[in-house]
Every structure is written in structure tokens, then in C-alpha cells.
Structure 1
Amino acid sequence: MSLALGIAQTPSLINLFVLGLVAGTLSFGGAYTAIPFVQVEAVLIGAWLPQSVFIDAIAIGNILPAPLVIFTTFVGFQGAYLNGSIGNAFAGAIIITLGMFSPCFLFTIAGHNLLEKLVRNKVSRTPTQLPCYHAFDGLCGSVIGVIAIIAAQILKVSIEGALEKVKDKPVGEMIDTTAQVGPAAVLYMLALVVLYKFTNKYTALLLVIIGAVAGQFIFVD
């Protein structure tokens, strides 16, 4: 269980801004460290965002040519839409995004002198002699663990979602739905192989496009 503060039990605009602000503060090395926090606040504690929709937000954040933290924009849109019109939804998307990006700008401006000092120390010392070296070393290890947990959670949700679809359904529908799980697993394995074998910068983009096109023909209700 990641850090949970219960700051967004309802998706009001103020709560969404605070959620983005705290999530942005926790984004060490990227948005992956913020994903568990937003998930706990919106999906588990607040319960105003379904787990499947949260996974969609992460997928959209990876597809778009933007930082992964943009997934919070989708979360803010969905949350604010529950309490109002489409205009309120767009306001929620903007508010949570502003909160998400505010810490990095504030840290850069307020901590400029400290960063310059660290850079000068790095020039005159070996990395292990820096006072913050071991702290950052530990943080990097923690981030790797967080990313691994996120990957496991996404896999779990994908499997549970497929099983939920066939629950209490007639045999014919169960067979049709289960038949779609096989192609999804094949696409998953092929994507892993292609990403491992080909390191071209366009590989991920091509996989996203191919996956989207394949999904239109394979996963048809």
C-alpha cells in the first residue's frame, strides 16, 4: 500500500488540485512513483474512479506524446465530470494538471542555488563523496520496486477484467469472451519480443498503432 492521505475522498476541484500537488511532489524521477498514490486516493479511498478507468488513464498517458504525468489530466477529467457538466470536467483536468506540474517548477526556481552547489560539488568530488549520494541511491532502488508493482497491478487488473466478463454468463458468451483473452496474451508477448529485439525510437509508436488497429478487429463486443 502506497502513501495514502485521504485528500481526495470527493473529486471536487479543490481536492483535485491538492491531489495533483501532492502527486507532483512525490514524482521522483518521473510519474511512475505518483501512480500508486493517485490510485489509492481515487480508486481505493475515494472510490470515485473505477480501476479499469484508471488503467485506461495510464494507457493514454503512455500513448500520447507527452510526459506520463499527463495521466492525471484524464483522472481529473473523469472525477470532475461526476460532479458536473463537461465544462466542469475540463476544469478538473486543467486544475489537477496545474497541481501536478507546480512542484517541479517551484523546486527548480526555489532550489536553483542548491542545485548549482550540488553540480559544483560533483565536479570537485567523486559521486560517492556527495552528501546526498546514498540517499538518491536508495530512492532509485525504491522507484524500481514501485514500477515493478505497477506492472504487476496492471497485469492483475487485465486478467481479473477478463474473468469478470465471463462471470455468471451463458456458456456461449463465456466462450466468445474467453476467446478474446488468447489474442490479448499473444499481442502482449509479441510486443515484449519486439521491444526487446528492436530498440529504434519509433518501435513503441508503431506497436501502439498496430495494437490499436488489431484491437478494432479482435476485441469486438
Structure 2
Amino acid sequence: MLNKKQLSKLFLTFFKIGAFTFGGGYAMIPFIQKDVVEKNNWISEEELFEMLAISESTPGPISINIATFVGYRISGFWGAFFGTLGLVLPSFLIVFGLYLILDAFQNVLIVKYAFFGIRAGVIALIINALCKMYKQVSKRNLSYFLIIMSLLLTALFKVNPIFVIILSVVISLSLSLYIERISKK
């Protein structure tokens, strides 16, 4: 049975994040952490860190992947749908509105400087979120390894993300099975 109140809260939470965050997926991480982990307690810091690792290695924008994962974790398919819709809809509405307005002001110098300033603020938000998460997440070498491996393979070596995902899954499953086998002895 669908919990309409929870779906509504999920939609509104991600709608707010999508509406008031500039700079793309990585800039949304501190807001997702605050609203999803601290305020609503839908997932733990460690779960968010793992979702970030998975989201980084799966195709698509990281924030949309996280919204989908969190929504699915909270309310299954419909949670994933409304979490993702909540995150994407403000961007669509804002971009469409800005397109209608900014076309007339594209050569105005103050508009160019405003966007330059926004980029600087986004970098500070990303660094702050990463520092905060690093301090709070328990040190799991496999998660760190998979994140670094995914970044290096996709960004530096231009490896197909599908291969990186498959490799990450194989490594994770192999290690999990190995640890499970050892713990049974």
C-alpha cells in the first residue's frame, strides 16, 4: 500500500533540494546529507556514502541516482519515481524560465559575473560536504577503493562506465562472499 504522506514528503524534500541548489549533482550532496540523513533520518551517513560510491559509478547524474536510490529505499518503485521527479522538476522549470528571460540578457556583463561567483560557492559547498562525510563515515577501505578506482577509470583512462560498474559489482560480491566464507569457519 502506498504511503501518500511519505511520498509527498519525499517529493517535496527533493524538490526543495533541486530548486535551491546551483552547480549540479555534487553541489547537492551537502543538502541531500542534511535533509535525508540529519533531518529526516531516512538513511545513515554510511549508507549515503555507499550510495555516493554507487552513484558515481553508474550512468547518469549523481544527484538523480542518489534521489532514486533514497526514494527506492524509502518507498520502493514509487519512492524512486517521486524522489527523482522532485529533484528533476525544479531544474526543468527553472531552465525553461531562464531560457525565456536570459536570451535577452546574454551579453550583459553582470550576468556573466554572477555565474562565475556561483561556481566559486559551489566548490566550497562540495569541499565542506566531503570533509564532513570523511569525518563521520567509518573507514571502509573497499568503498574508498571503489570510489577511487571508478573515478580513475572513467575520468583519466576513459573506460566505459558499464565496464566500471560490472568490475565494481564483481569486486564487491567476491569480497563479500570471501568474508562470509571466512566468518562461517
TM-score using structure 1 length: 0.65
State yes or no: 1:215 paired with 2:162.
no
Q: Which has the higher helix share?
A: 2
* Cα root mean square deviation, aligned: 3.0
Aligned with 2:159 (options 202, 217, 220): 202
Gap runs ≥5 in structure 1: 1-10, 81-88, 122-128, 163-180
Aligned to 2:135: 156
Higher-Rg structure is: 1
Aligned with 2:23 (options 24, 29, 34): 29
Q: Distance in 2 between matches of 1:154 and 1:28?
A: 20
Say if 1:26 and 1:34, in contact at 8 Å, map to a contact too.
no
Q: 1:137 to 1:55 in 2, by over 3 A?
A: same
TM-score using structure 2 length: 0.75
State yes or no: 1:72 paired with 2:67.
yes
Secondary structure in structure 1 of the residue aligned to 2:92: helix
Q: 1:131 to 1:212 in 2, by over 3 A?
A: same
Gap runs ≥5 in structure 2: 181-185
Say if 2:14 and 2:84, in contact at 8 Å, map to a contact too.
yes
Q: Distance in 1 between matches of 2:85 and 2:52?
A: 18
Identity rate, percent: 27
Q: 1:214 to 1:92 in 2, by over 3 A?
A: closer
Aligned to 2:118: 139
Query: How many residue pairs align between the two structures?
Result: 172
Q: Which amino acid aligns with 1:202?
A: V
Say which structure, 1 or 2, has more relative contact order (CA 8 Å, 6+ apart): 2
Q: Distance in 2 between matches of 1:51 and 1:151?
A: 12
Q: 1:108 to 1:189 in 2, by over 3 A?
A: closer
